[in-house]
Amino acid sequence: MLDNLRICFGFVSVLIGSFFLRDGVSNAHSAESTWLVGGAVLVSLGFISMAYVVKNWVELRKYFKNDGG
């Protein structure tokens, strides 16, 4: 259950961060650097949370493969 929430959170973070990055690069306004930094943080947070889920999934597969169950 928690892994499903992490995947959703990661996906939403990557989407919002991508929007911030696109908007920060394409529009020239005073808060451009804030949008770029915020977008980069959200994209990296999304990728980190999805990588954590994949790492747990691989560890569980190894455990059940070795355990025979």
Angle separating helix axes 32-67 and 2-26, nearest 10 degrees: 150
31 vs 54, which has greater pLDDT?
Answer: 54
Torsion from C-alpha of 28, 32, 38, 41, nearest 10 degrees: 80
Q: How many domains does the chain have?
A: 1
Report the percentage of the chain scoring pLDDT > 90. 14
- Asked if the model's pLDDT at residue 36 lies above 90, the reply is no
Its pTM stands at 0.75
Residue 11's domain comprises: 2-67
